[in-house]
Structure 1
C-alpha cells in the first residue's frame, strides 16, 4: 500500500492528490485503519453484549441485568472521559511526527518519537489508574445515591479497576500501530484486530459464564460480571505482545538504540506541544458525547442501560471516519 521508498512517495505526492497512484495509496491506508478502529469499539460492544445477558452474580446479590449493564455504561463513560487525551493526543502526535521522520528517511528519529510516546503514555496511564480506582465513589458523588446505589458503586469500581489491567497494553498497541501506519504497513494491525475481536468474544463467554462440557468432564461457572474486563485485559495483552513480536521479527525495532541517542529537549517539547493541542481538541469533541451519557445516567438505570447499548453501536459506525483522517495525516 505504499511505494518502495519514501523518496518515491514524495515524488508521487508532488504530482498532486488527484493522481490515481496517490488515490490508491490513500485508499490502501484508509480502509484497513478504519477497520482497526471498528474492531476497537467492537470489543467494547462485545463486552456489553455479554454483560447484557447476565442474569445474576453471587458477588452482587441485589443486582439485576439492568444494573449490570447500567454500571458497565457508567464505568465506560468514566473510562472514556478520562482516557481521551491518551487516544486523541499521544498516539496521533506520534503518527504526525513519525510520518515526517519516515518521509525524511530518519528511521532512528521514528524510534525516538515512539519511545517518547510510550514513556509519556505510561506516565499518563498511572494517573488514569488512580482515577479509575475510585470511579465508583466519583460516580455516586456525581449522580447521587438515588441513582448510583451502593451496589452500583461496587459494580462500577470493580469494572474500572479490572479494566485498568488492559490500559497500558492498549496504549502501547496504539503506539506500535501508529508507527506501522507511518510506514504504510496497515494490514498486519487490521488482521490482528479482527482475530482478537473473535478471541475477546470467546474469552467473555469463558470468564463470565464459564464452561460446561460433560463430555470432557469440565465444568467451571466463570466469575460473572468482572469476567468481562478480565477477558478484555487478557485479549489486549495477548494482542499487544503478539504485535510487538511481529514488529521485532520484521526488524522495526532495529534502530531502537539510535532512537534513544536522539532524545533532546527540543524534540520532547515538540512532541508534547503536538500532544497537548490534539488532546485538548479531542477532549472538547468527545466530551460532548459523554455529557449525553451523564444525562442518561441521571434519569434511571434503565435509561443508562439503553443509552449505553445504542451509544456503542453509534461509536462502531462513527469510527469509520478515523481511517480517512489518519491516512490523510500519514500522506501529508
Structure 2
C-alpha cells in the first residue's frame, strides 16, 4: 500500500483570546482576527483531520486508520489505543491571556467523561517582550487554601509566572494548573482530549456578554497542589541529530535542527512519526513518497515506514512518536 507522508488541512478555531500570528507568522489563511488555534492533526470527534495531499486527499484520518490500523499507528500503538488516534497536534496564538485551567488525568477523565486525560507540552515559537506563562503554584498549598482563593478572587496571587522566549519548552502534566499568556505563539503536543477545567477567566465575557463557564467543583479533585518544579524542558541544540526533549507514557518528542540531509532507519520503531516544522522548510520522504513542508506545517509519517529522509538546507523540527 502507498502510505506516503500525509499532510492534513488545518482546522482553524476562533477564540476569544485569539489573534493573527497564525496567519502573519505561519501562513494560515485566516477568516478573521480572532483565530487562536490551528489543529494540525486531530482524531477528535467532530474535528477529524482530512488529508490534503496525494492519492488519499479528502480522506479523514479516522477512515485511514480504519482501513490500515497497524500500518498507520504501529502494532503496539494500535493494541494500546485501538483505532483512536492518541495525539492532538496544534499551533496556538494567544493575543490575550488564556483562562487559568487544568486537565484531569486518565483515571478521572475516564470516570467522568469516558475520555483520555490531558498531558501536554509546549514549544515557544514566538513571544512578545515580557510575555509570561502560568505553570503551577509558587509554593505548596492545600486544597482549603485553593478553594478559599477562588472565593476571595485571589487565585492569581498563588500562581507561578514564567517569562518565556523563543525556543523554550515546557511539559504540563495532567492536574497542573496553567495558562498561556498574551503575546505567545506555541506548538502544542497533547493527548487526544478536549477535557479542560477552567478555574479563572479574569471575569471576561463572551461575544454575547456572558461570563464564561467555570469548572470550580470539578477542579478540586483534579488539581495538583504541590509546587513541583518539573515543567521546564532542557534539551540539546545539536545540529543534524535528534535531541531528546520529552519522553513520557503518552508521547516522545525530539528537537531537530537541520542544515543538511538526515536519514533514519525506523523499521523497528513500531509507531507513526509526526514532524512539526517550526522554522525553515524541509522535504520529508519515506518508502512510498515525499512532501515538502515549511514553518507552521505538520506531516504524519505512517508506522509502516522503514526509512525516513529529511532533506533541508535550513530547518527546525519537532519530531513526535509514541
| Bigger helix fraction | 1
Which structure has more relative contact order (CA 8 Å, sep 6+)? It is 1
Q: Which has the larger radius of gyration?
A: 1
Give 1 or 2: higher strand fraction: 2
Q: So what's the TM-score if we normalise by structure 2? A: 0.25
TM-score, length basis structure 1: 0.24
